[in-house]
Amino acid sequence: MRILLTGGCGFIGSAVVRHLMRHTDHSILNVDKLTYAASQDALEDAGSFSRYVHVADDIADRTAMQNAFDTFQPDRVMHLAAESHVDRSIDGPETFIQTNIVGTYTLLQCALGYWRKLPDDKRESFRFHHISTDEVFGALKPGDPAFTEDTAYDPRSPYSASKAASDHLVRAWHHTYGLPVIVSNTTNNYGPWQFPDKLIPLVTLNALSGQPIPVYGDGSNQRDWIYVEDHAEALVRIIEAGIPGHTYAISARQPRSNIDVVRNICAILDKLLPDPAGPREHLIRFVSDRPGHDFRYEVDPSRAEQALGWRAKHDFETGLQQTVKWYLNNTSWWQKIRANSYDGSRLGSAA
């Protein structure tokens, strides 16, 4: 199988590339323009496979995308490229509109033109998989049932609104033009190689370096977490066996409050690398909540688990400990990022 994958140097995209290279014989064309959060290091050994090719193109560039389809001749598309940091979307929404909406539209148009010209057998087997977020569903209150594939959309931030718009475009291209699309919505991902402005790496690195750990409000906001390698496996299952027109809600069934996540990270670090100044919880600083901060996300993955024969392998505590250890063992990577573009003062998007 030949897969045109967008955003393959991002956090989730690189995990998908690693999985595809190590566990399948599929070929990949990775379209990633290498924005601030992209890292070719995150591909690890996967980037050296002859079945893997990278082009540093913009998904909103119609000419470049048309050329990618025409030259690579994909059997599948996995669309992960997106701007994803909520705080950055509040500060500067234009980039999110351009990448998440215009970029998705451009990719859909190129895919549609390409698909229409395929021979009957290849047209029948072609799939366009759009990877999205649970944030498009809005926020849950305490006691509300978890999101499912049937939950109505209610985005609250420029980021989630731009992703909701892209989801609607993808489904419209299916219903209007017949393009065989699949949508998946997932929860908060964590694991190795995540850019340091997200909650778990931010807390880990600030705690490690003795910097204040900022937490929005009182920290009671809740997020549902999934280890990125588990999510990557689910996405590959979807592109191989998903049904066109269907949506798959992907989760590991592991909701946690933000303050519990922060305290858990501090406890892991205190055990692995005790600080002479004492337990790292003293670094926690509660700060003013951000505008429109969603209280709770949680996804019920029952349908996806049954349809795909898949279930997340990592429990949160084990995955979190592995993640913290990874950052301890890869200081050169994140120190370079912090030195060049990030100082640790920006809050994580899920904080």
CA gap 72, 78 in Å, rounded: 14
Distances (CA, A) of 263 to 10, 151, 219, 226, 269: 27, 31, 10, 18, 10
How far apart CA 20 and CA 84 sit, in angstroms, is 23
CA angle 332, 225, 267 (to 5 degrees): 60
300 given a catalytic annotation: no
Pair 324, 269: CB distance under 8 Å: yes
Could you give the CA distance from residue 190 to residue 60 in angstroms, rounded to a whole number?
27
Instruction: Single out the catalytic residue among 134, 197, 230, 298.
Output: 134
With a CB cutoff of 8 Å and minimum separation 6, the contacts of 325 are 272
159 labelled catalytic: yes
In the DSSP assignment, the letter for residue 314 is -
**Residues 6 or more apart from 303 whose CB is under 8 A from it?**
148, 149, 248, 249
Q: Which residues of 270-279 are buried (b: 16+ CB within 10 A; e: fewer)?
A: eeeeeeeeee
Show the tokens assigned to 219: 């920290």
248 is catalytic: no
- DSSP, collapsed to helix, strand or coil, labels residue 30 as strand
Query: Which of 58, 83, 87, 135 does the annotation list as catalytic?
Result: 135
* Tokens, residue 330: 């890869």
User: In 3-state terms, what secondary structure has residue 151?
Assistant: coil
Query: CA–CA separation, 166 vs 82, rounded Å?
Result: 10
Q: Which of 159, 216, 297, 327 is catalytic?
A: 159
Locate tokens 């990022």: which residue?
A: 337
Annotated catalytic residues are 134-135, 159
